[in-house]
Amino acid sequence: MVVVAVLCFLASVTAVGALAADRAAHGWARQLRAEATVQVRPRVDETGPTAAARAAETLAGVKGVAEAEAMDRKAAETLLRPWVGEAALPDLPLPYLVTVRLDPKAPASAPTLSRALAEAGLDATVDDHSLWRGEVERSAGVITALAGAAFLLIAAATAAVIAYATRAGMAAQAGVIETLSLNGASDGYVAGLFQRRFGGLAAKAGALGAGVAALLLALLRLIGGEGGLTPALPLAFSDLAILIACPLLAFGVALLAARFTALAKLGGRG
């Protein structure tokens, strides 16, 4: 029962962690899909801020763009400060950028933005973050696959533990099984006794493991505030609802493992 409870605890933490990671990855993908960045190269007869402002004005009128705003040097320095430090910022040449927020229902494509800029006589490059978005979406798929593999491994380990416990229990109760058989009990009836016994134990162990996992995850959610413990793994209290399935799954695995093991043991006895 203790081993099954530990396995169910690990399965519960893995499930919620996978949900949180998948939510984060898809959230990042949605943010990348809703934004674009434009690097503007000023002409000889105009300044960088002027060119960026003209590009923002041009893009704001494009269908599928919700908002376009030229990024000033102060905002760019704020983004770079954690990476390059304070000392290097004053002398660092920074590109002139325009941040574009796209209409989530019908976002403008990168070719559309580039064409509008070219028609306005602007030398600019549009980055719609498609490369990064693809990487993030692939990461979400890998996370989902790893979570599924983890569940399969934990379920297999749980079944192996229950099968071993069933064989040990039958060996310890060999006299009782023999007495039941002599009194006309069928193999199916004897297997059902072990099935109910280990199914009940597994359900209790699953409830214990899921309960401890729920307390731990709820504590992490409370400590982390609105976004959870970390933005990389945004936990939600609704995630804890899936833990209800843990004792049910443990019960089902125990029923199958105990029944097949008991029937195989009884069948090989004669």
Strand partners, 127: 37
Q: For a pLDDT cut of 70, what percent of the chain falls above it?
A: 95
The type of residue at 217 is: L
Cα angle value 217/161/178 (rounded, 5°): 140
Mean pLDDT of 130-156: 79
Measured CA distances, 214 to 146, 234, 242 (Å): 21, 15, 10
Mean pLDDT of 34-41: 89
DSSP state of 231: T
Note the pLDDT tens digit of each residue in 204-241: 988 998 899 889 888 877 776 555 555 656 777 787 88
Q: What does the CA dihedral 133, 139, 144, 148 come to, rounded to 10 degrees?
A: 160
Query: DSSP assignment of 9-38, as one string?
Result: HHHHHHHHHHHHHHHHHHHHHHHHHTEEEE
Mean pLDDT of 139-150: 79
Tokens at residue 12, please?
A: 């519960």
The string over 34-58, giving b where at least 16 C-beta atoms fall within 10 Å of a residue's C-beta and e elsewhere, is ebbebebebeeeeebeebbbbbbeb
What is the overall mean pLDDT for the chain?
82
Spatial separation of the C-alpha atoms in residues 198 and 151, rounded to whole Å:
20
Cα angle value 265/170/162 (rounded, 5°): 85
Output phi, psi for 37, to 5 deg. Answer: -125, 135
Query: DSSP assignment of 75-126, as one string?
Result: HHHHHHHHHH-STTSTT----EEEEEEEPSSSPPPHHHHHHHHHHTT-EEEE
Strand partners, 141: none
Whether pLDDT at 153 is above 70:
yes
Check residue 270 and give its pLDDT: 47
Q: Give the count of alpha carbons within 13 A of 119, CB side only.
A: 10
pTM: 0.66
Most confidently modeled of 73-87, 93-107, 167-181? Answer: 93-107
Spatial separation of the C-alpha atoms in residues 176 and 191, rounded to whole Å:
13
Q: Which of 99, 88, 110 is closest to 66 using CA atoms? A: 99
Whether pLDDT at 246 is above 50:
yes
Whether pLDDT at 113 is above 70:
yes
Mean pLDDT of 175-187: 80
Position with higher pLDDT, 270 vs 116: 116
- Residue 87 pLDDT grade (very low, low, confident, very high; cuts 50, 70, 90): confident
Output phi, psi for 160, to 5 deg. Answer: -65, -40
Check residue 232 and give its pLDDT: 59
- Residue 58 pLDDT grade (very low, low, confident, very high; cuts 50, 70, 90): very high
